[in-house]
Structures are given as structure tokens and as C-alpha cells.
Chain A
Amino acid sequence: MLVVEDGTEYEEFANTFLGARFLVVAAHSATEAIEQLRSRSVDALLVDLRFERAPSDLLVGDVDATARRLFGGDSVRALRWIKDQQGTLVLAEIRKAGFRQRAVFVHDFPSERLKNLAKLYGDVHAVPGFDAAAIGAVLDARPRVPA
């Protein structure tokens, strides 16, 4: 399983509760994620949505273009939007690079938004919280409890 996030919380969660089923590797940007996907066999993606802690130079998305397109030139709001959506922008890059693995977000998307993401990015699922049983069910894996 490839975990893509801006911290280490998903990786620790996946190792603790899904580690019996998956060897967990982590990436912290789209570039790192694609490098990992090119260098090893990956069955599934667990993707954070908000990357509020990531340095701007690691983010996917053009702040100035987004500011012009969506926020009347307001680059502060544009950067916030890019960070808030970063997981989907990273997934777009992963798909563009040709990788189609099942992706799971830990996020409570409105159903219409999730349908739209699936339309854009294929095999995309979402689980509202850090629920190992639900994520395991989506990934056809059983969570474990550490001894």
C-alpha cells in the first residue's frame, strides 16, 4: 500500500491496523508517489486530502493561475484551496502517469463530489474517518490488532 500524505499519521495508522495485509510505504508529494509507483508493485493507495503542512514547492497546482481562475487574483485563498484539495490533485498526477490502483481517501466527501472524483480518476473510494475495518473492506483486507 502506498500512503500519500503530508505528515506521518496515515502511515502509522496503516502500519498499525492494516500492516498484516499490506507492506506500507509512504510518499509526501506527487513526485515521490510516482517514484514509488515506478519502483515497486503497489496494490492500493491511501491518500490524505488536505496537505496543510506541505511546503508550497512540493504542492501540485499553480497558485497564480488558480488565483486568477477561481479567486479574483487572491493568491492566499488560492494556496489554501490547493492545500485543501491536494490529495485529489496528487491523484490526478498519479493517474496521468498511468497508475490505476484503487485509491481510498479518509474523508467525508459529499456523495456528488465522490461520484465526480470517480468519474475523473476511476477507482476512487472514501471512508469518512480512520476506520480500519471500513478501509479494509474497501481494500478487501482485514484489519488486525497488534499483539
Chain B
Amino acid sequence: MTAVTEEAASIARALAHDVGKYVARAARNLPREGNLPKVLIDMLSRDLYAPLPSGPTPRARFDALAAELRAAGVADARLAEVSGRFEGLAALRGSLEGGDLALIRRAAEEALAIERALSSLANELSTQARGESA
């Protein structure tokens, strides 16, 4: 197995922060039942699709950082999983804008799954990097 460098762990932490944390911002806090206020649907939509203040969309930021991580020698199945989930979210975009409640909730679940995958990847790589530098 390739040694995990602190550089790779740092990229993974950026993925968890810049992508995972922010795509789940509204998704995690939606009421579990009933209709969703428009303000929350709009917030979810922005979390998932709008450019970040720094420029790229979450998906573009993910693609860039995932490429950096692969270049640093990390080939983890969670990167492909998250890429697939972003494909799914792209397909759901019209449903969010159209107000389809079931599909909005599905998009929120995808966002939470992205956060979980990137958070676990960051934690694992950080632990491995610390172990290898110790």
C-alpha cells in the first residue's frame, strides 16, 4: 500500500471541508416530515449547485481536489462513489427547481452521503498520515 503523505491528508481534509460540509449544510437540517419551506429548498439548491464564493461549484471543486488526491497516490473507491453521487445530483437538479418533494429529499440524502464519504476518507487519511509521520 502507498504511504499516505500529510499532503494527501490535507487534500482530503479540504475535500471534506470545501465539498462535504457545505453540500450537507441545508440537507442535514431539513424537517423530516411534511412540506419544505421554499427558503430551505432554495438554500439546498444553492448548496448543491451554485458556485462557491471562491468560484467553482461543489462538483467542480470535488473534481479538482479528487484529481489532486489521485495525483498524490490515493486511489480510493469513495472518490468514484462521490463522483457518481454528483452525477445523480446533476440529474435531480430540475426536480429541485420544480419542487418535487420526494426527489428533493433524495437529493438531500445524496448530499449527506457525499458528506459521510468525504468525512470518513479525510479522517482515515489523516490518521494514516499521522501514523506514518510518528
Contacts and interface: CB of A to CB of B under 8 A. Distances in A.
Interface in B6-59: 10, 13-14, 16-18, 20-22, 24-26, 28-29, 31, 37, 39-40, 43, 52-54
Contacts of B28: 129-132
Interface residues of B, number: 28
Contacts, number: 63
Contact of A84 (B10, B40, B52): B10
Contact of B13 (A12, A17, A84): A84
Interface in A105-147: 106-108, 110, 128-133, 143, 145-147
The 5 closest A-B pairs by CB, nearest first: A130-B25, A132-B29, A7-B53, A53-B54, A145-B31
11 contacts: A7-B53, A13-B25, A50-B14, A107-B17, A108-B16, A108-B119, A129-B115, A130-B21, A130-B26, A130-B29, A145-B31
Nearest to B18: A52
Given A16-B39, A49-B17, A52-B18, A8 B53 contact: yes
Interface of A: 7-9, 12-13, 16-17, 49-50, 52-53, 80, 84, 106-108, 110, 128-133, 143, 145-147
Contacts of B119: 108, 128-129
Interface of B: 10, 13-14, 16-18, 20-22, 24-26, 28-29, 31, 37, 39-40, 43, 52-54, 115, 119, 122-123, 126-127
Please classify the interface of chain A as helix (H, G, I), strand (E, B), loop, or mixed, using the class held by over half of its residues.
loop
Most buried by B among A7, A110, A146: A146
Contacts of B22: 9, 130
